[in-house]
Every structure is written in C-alpha cells, then in structure tokens.
Structure 1
Amino acid sequence: MIELPAELSLSVDGPVATLTIDRPDKRNAFALRMWAALPAVARAVESAPEVRVLLVRGAGDGPFSAGADIGEFGTVRRGEEAASAYSATVHAAERAIAELSKPTIALVQGWCVGGGCELALACDLRVADESARFGITPAKLGLVYNQVSTAQVVTAVGAAWAKYILFTGELLDAQTALRIGLVQQVHPREQAAEAALALARLIAQRAPITVAGAKALVNRVVEGTAEADQWAERWYAASYRSAEYTEGVTAFVAKRTADFSEIGWPKLDADGAPA
C-alpha cells in the first residue's frame, strides 16, 4: 500500500486496515523513523475508498508498544533543538492518527507504555487483553508531557486519574484501565484479537455518514463546542440527503438489515464538515 520502515506494516482486509508494529527485540518501541511514518499511514487510510476502520496493534500476541526508543535519545534528542524537533515529529504522528475522519481502534496486548500509550489514546477506542499494562512515564525521565497528549489522557479518564497516571508513572493493569475508561473492552488473551477485529467489522457495517459525523461531532464537543451551529447543520443536511438515509429507511420499512457496503466514505471540506 505504501513504503514503511521494516518495523511497520499496513494491510487491508475488506473495510478494515491494520497497522502492525513488529519490533520484538525492542518490545515494539518506536524509533524516530517509525513516528515519522505515521502521517503517511494516516493519509493512505484516509484516501483508500474501501477502508472504513483502522486497527492498530502489535504483531502476534503483542506487546502493543513499550513507547519511544529511549536508547536513541542520546543522538536524536541530543540538545534542546533536537529534542524539540523529535517531540514535534511524535506529536505530528499522534495528531495524524487522531484526526483521521475514519474510526480507529487500538488492540492492546502486553506493554502499552509512554509513547505507546500516547498512540493508543490517539485512537478512538481501545480493546485490551488481560495481559495489557498501561503507563505514561515522563515523570521518570524528567520530561513535561505534550499539552494535546495530556488532553487526550484527561478526556479518556478524567482529571484526577490523569494526574495519578502522570504524577506516578506507574503501570495500570487491564481491569483498572477498563474501570477508569482508558479501555472499552477487556478479553482473555486468546480472544482479544478476534474481538477487536469483530468490533472493527461491526463499525464498518454502519452508515458511513453517521460514523463520520459522530466522530466529528464528539471530537468537537471534547474541544469545547456543544451547541448546534451552521457547521453541525451541514452534517445534519448531508445525512438527510444521503444514500445511507435512503437505504436505512428503506431497510427499516422492509424489515431487513440495511446494507451500506456500496456507499463510499463522505467527502469532507478542509473544515471537517461534508463537502
């Protein structure tokens, strides 16, 4: 689909694209070259007409990712200017995934720490197995966590738990992550991958205009806008005149399951509303 570093691969199976992290000797830690590749992944997924959901996972049974490759910090982050450039690359990678108009799911098995947790939180939903361990560790490195990434943590778990996670740098187990809203599902190790794929396929079956609109509107609420305005009205109007609406109503009247599989992903303007 696109050229990527050897540790990353992007595959497509029907409406689901899967980004796989495969660097077992480093527990899937991200090197700078891997972070730099993620915007291209996002562009490929966004532009692929057949793709409706992106699944992000570690190879095999995990781990998801142990975070940034701290072993290269002495070179790629050496000095204030290099550290700033490195942080900008990581932030651009996280933003590229977070700002996809298509839904994203992280399958978390094993370690999901630091930058790995940042990547998982950039996804819309997280499915974990019982071995998953979550942590954000700048307090152990003397770093201040990025503002936008901090906001992702607060959005997921609330202010008090975000402070706990960031103050302590300690790891949370899967059940704690589920209880505080960091993940949406936890499954036994042997069932988690299939459960995440099943969720991706389920979402892919739903009306594209509804899923895209829901993601855009929810994200807007998170950013502080809750009232209906002209931007939101464009989404409503687009849905009323959409092929999805016609199919959905027709299927309901005929007492059959709606089939949206031949309907493309909505085209959006630069402001994120329907074109």
Structure 2
Amino acid sequence: MNLPEELSLSFDGPIATLAIDRPAKRNAFALRMWQAIPAVVRAVEDDDNLRVLVIRGAGDGPFSAGADIAEFQTVRKGEEAAAAYSEVVHEAERALATMSKPSVALIQGWCVGGGCELALACDIRIADNTARFGITPSKLGVVYHQMSTARVVETVGPAWARYILFTGELLDADVALRIGLVHEVHPVDQAAAKAYELAGTLAKRAPITLAGAKQLIARAANGEAADDEWAHRWYRASYASRDYAEGVSAFVEKRQPDFTAIPWPKLDEDGAPA
C-alpha cells in the first residue's frame, strides 16, 4: 500500500497505528491524505492478525489541525471542486466509522475541524490534557455535512452540537470530557500508554462481540431498535461461535478467555455476519 509521506501505518501484534506526520502544518490533512484513509481501513480489515486501529499524531502530536485550508483555493475552488473534495473527506470518515474492527483516537494537542471529524469517526477517543477541540465551518462559510453533524449530535447531544457548530470556538480537554466528546483525559506523559493499554484490552475481547456490538450500536444510534431477523442473525452467529465456546469454557474453568486465535467475523453488505 502506497501512503502519502505524511502518513505511516505500523503494527505491534494485533494493534495497527496510523500516524499523522506533517508537523509544519500541525498535521493538517491535504486532499491526498484524506484519499488514503479508505485504503488504510481496508488493510486493517483484511489483515487477520489485526484487531484494533489507533490513530494519532506522530511523536507527541498534535492529532490534527484539520483540513489544509491553504489548498482550498486550488483543489476546492468552485462549486464542483468543493463538492468533490467534500465527498473524498466524507468517504474517509465513512470508511473509518463503518470499519468492523474498533478504532481508538489518541488525541494530543490540536484536534480541530477535519481533525475532530476524523477523531469522531473513531469508536473511542483518549486525550491528553493539552488537547483542544473545535469544528469551525462557521468561520469558513461552510455548511457542515449531514452525516458529520449527526455524528456530533450522537456524541455530545443537540445542545452542545449547537454550541460547537455555531461558535466554532475551541474546547479544552476538561470540557470535552464533561460533554462526552472524549472518553478519558490523562496527563501528557500518560495518555499514549493509556490509549495503547485500552487498545490491548480491546484486542483481547471476543471478536464476535465487538463486531456485533459496533453494528448494533450504529443501528441504534440511527433510531433502529427492532429485534428483527437482522439482529437475530447476530445472536445466532454468536451462539454458534468459537468465541462463545471459549468464553463459557473459560468461565467454568475459572481462567481468562483466550480469543487470540479466533478470526474476526466476516460481514455481509448489510452489516450482519456472513
């Protein structure tokens, strides 16, 4: 896989890390970087050894200052180009948000605009206490995408979504934690270790449970809560799974379950187990 020089994908056992390394631009995303995200997601999905994706700024960050506004006058100039650019960004967001494996954003420093959009597409967000968050379309004259707006509302509720999108102002880590924008905040020297500790925990959990929970949560967030045939396909798959057999055996034998040799479930196009 050929990635732009500002992005690197590395592996440590079951954990993949996508590092953003464009320090001169505070890790702002150029068009070529957005275009690479779906390929990164596919690589993680297709590798049976991988269980979790961590996204972070290289070194001590920042996470990302957002889209590279400087290139808007070229690659985003005019109505058609702006629409095409936006579709690339939202395809990256969709790919990450709908990945069957869990993702963790490690947020240090700036997490603004498109950077915040990328972090919100991850399942879990761990921040250090220098993190600053903002979504700034009101400062650019842009109407924020419906899917991205829905993700903000799903995460912090409509009241705080209004504040964030109307003002475009930055929120500090304490406020982000209080409103549910992030799950945990840690001191600068501890945040990375905590994020990878969490990723390690996720990598040890039952694949069928994590994959199913991600699909059912997304469905519930969209207002779909029917206990229908689609849901029952997940239940039946879990009852027949190696994960279930191992979990029950481990409980009876009073030991920790070991799911590491169990492959990640494959999904049909409708998000149910194949």
Report the residue type matching 2:216 in the other structure.
Answer: L
The residue number in structure 2 matching 1:122 is 121
Structure 2 equivalent of residue 183 of structure 1: 182
- The letter of the residue matching 2:149 is T
Q: Which runs of 5+ in 2 are unaligned?
A: none
Q: Does structure 1 residue 251 correspond to structure 2 residue 250?
A: yes
Cα shift at 1:43: 0.6
User: Residues of 2 paired with 1:228 and 1:17: CA distance?
Assistant: 34
- 1:137-216 equivalences under 5 Å are 137-216=136-215
SS at match of 1:105: strand
Q: How does 1:53-92 map to 2 (within 5 A)?
A: 53-92=52-91
Secondary structure at 1:33 match in 2: helix
Tell me the CA shift for residue 224 of structure 1.
1.2
CA distance in 2: counterparts of 1:211 and 1:122, whole angstroms:
16
Deviation readout 1:5-64 (Å, 9 max, x if unpaired): 000001111111100000000000000000011110111111110111110000011100
Aligned to 1:266: 265
Instruction: Describe the superposition over 1:94-142 as per-residue Cα deviations: whole angstroms up to 9, x where unpaired.
Output: 1110110000110000000000000000001100000000000000001
- Give 2:2's aligned residue: 3
Structural RMSD (CA): 0.5
Question: What TM-score, normalized to structure 2?
Answer: 0.99
Identity, % of aligned positions: 70
Measured in 2, the distance between the counterparts of 1:20 and 1:150 equals 25
| Structure 2 residue aligned with 1:242 | 241
Find the aligned partners of 1:163 and 1:270 in 2 and give their Cα distance. 34
One-letter code aligned to 2:107: V
Q: How far, CA to CA, are the matches of 1:257 and 1:38 in structure 2?
A: 35
Rounded Cα–Cα distance in structure 2 between residues aligned with 1:220 and 1:108: 26
Q: Deviations over 1:138-183 (max 9, x none)?
A: 0000100000000010000000000000000000000100000000
Q: In structure 2, what residue type is equivalent to 1:22?
A: D
d(CA) in 1 for partners of 2:215, 2:193: 27
Shift of 1:227: 1.8
> Aligned partner of 1:159: which letter?
P
Runs (4+) off by over 6 Å? none
Structure 1 match to 2:224: 225
What is the identity, as a one-letter code, of the residue corresponding to 1:169? G
Q: C-alpha distance in 2, partners of 1:118/1:60? A: 21
Distance (whole Å) between structure 1 residues aligned to residue 195 and residue 254 of structure 2: 29
C-alpha distance in 1, partners of 2:52/2:198? 10
The residue type paired with residue 23 of structure 1 is: R
Q: Which runs of 5+ in 1 are unaligned?
A: none
Distance in structure 2 (CA, Å) of the matches to 1:102 and 1:127:
17
Q: Distance in 2 between matches of 1:20 and 1:120?
A: 13
Structure 2 residue matching 1:78: 3-state secondary structure: coil
C-alpha distance in 2 between matches for 1:182 and 1:88: 24
